[in-house]
Amino acid sequence: MKELSLHILDIVQNSLKAKATIVEIRINENLKNDRLTIEIKDNGKGMSQGLLEKATDPFVTTRKTRRVGLGLSLLKAAAQQCEGDLSIESVEGIGTRVYTTFQYSHIDRVPLGNMVDSLITLLIASEEEDSADPSNKSEDSAAFNYVYEHQINDQTFLFETKEIKKILGNTPINDVYVLDWIKNYLKENLERLVKT
């Protein structure tokens, strides 16, 4: 894939499929140590020991429409190409943590890309995941929380959808005007992070 933001989109979609209600995305760009790390942690259903051992094998998937699962194996390959790696910790009924490292300056490292678009897509997807399942109560949607933390050297930007939802009250977070506001807010703050 051309951008890490697309890999992140893919990995978080696994969390949504696993019925997570909290997904934490943490990106750390440490230019001094020449490392880039990406952590995605959820409180979804987790994986059995057997599945966990095979999860980064491209022929392992629990999906029924296609035999090959690619999300984790592609990101692992991208990391290993750049003096990095991908590791997964998962406990059934508790959740999953995917941790990926890269050499920041590695010639083969693809750019982070458009995180704003990935986050907006994920916001919409998390709302749809809720309403697609009739067994989900409407409170679940209100309880759903993304934590996005993006660190570049000493600067950190933290975004939590829980905070936005508090302010919004009954207005849905996937309202077009709300999404547009969030998009600009993320854009401004991430650009500021890069400049300073």
Instruction: Please classify residue 44 by burial: count the beta carbons closer than 10 Å to its beta carbon, then call 0-12 exposed, 13-18 middle and 19+ buried.
Output: buried
Tell me how far, at minimum, the Cβ of 64 lies from Mg ion, in Å.
13
Tell me how far, at minimum, the Cβ of 172 lies from ligand ATP, in Å.
25
- Report how far apart, in Å, the C-alpha atoms of 140 and of each of 105, 110, 127, 145 are: 41, 36, 10, 10
Residue 128 has, within 13 A of its CA and on its CB side, a CA count of: 8
Stretch that binds ligand ATP, among 25-33, 39-47, 119-127, 128-136 (CB under 6 A): 39-47
Nearer to ligand ATP, 73 or 101 (CB): 73
Of the candidate residues 72, 82, 119, 173, the single one contacting ligand ATP (CB under 6 A): 72
> How far is residue 193's CA from residue 127's CA, in Å, rounded to a whole number?
28
Stretch that binds ligand ATP, among 64-72, 102-110, 177-185, 188-196 (CB under 6 A): 64-72
Tell me how far, at minimum, the Cβ of 10 lies from Mg ion, in Å.
5
Nearer to Mg ion, 14 or 118 (CB): 14
DSSP string computed for 62-74: --SS-S---HHHH
Nearer to Mg ion, 44 or 71 (CB): 71
Is residue 71 within the footprint of Mg ion (CB under 5 A)? yes
Stretch that binds ligand ATP, among 8-16, 124-132, 153-161, 169-177 (CB under 6 A): 8-16
- Give the pair of three-digit tokens for residue 8: 């992140």
Tell me how far, at minimum, the Cβ of 45 lies from Mg ion, in Å.
14
The beta-strand segments (E) located in the chain are 22-30, 35-42, 86-91, 95-103, 145-152, 155-160
For strand 145-152 and strand 22-30, is the pairing parallel, antiparallel, or unpaired?
A: parallel
- Residues within the interface to ligand ATP (CB under 6 A): 10, 14-15, 18, 42, 44-47, 51, 55, 60-63, 69-73, 96
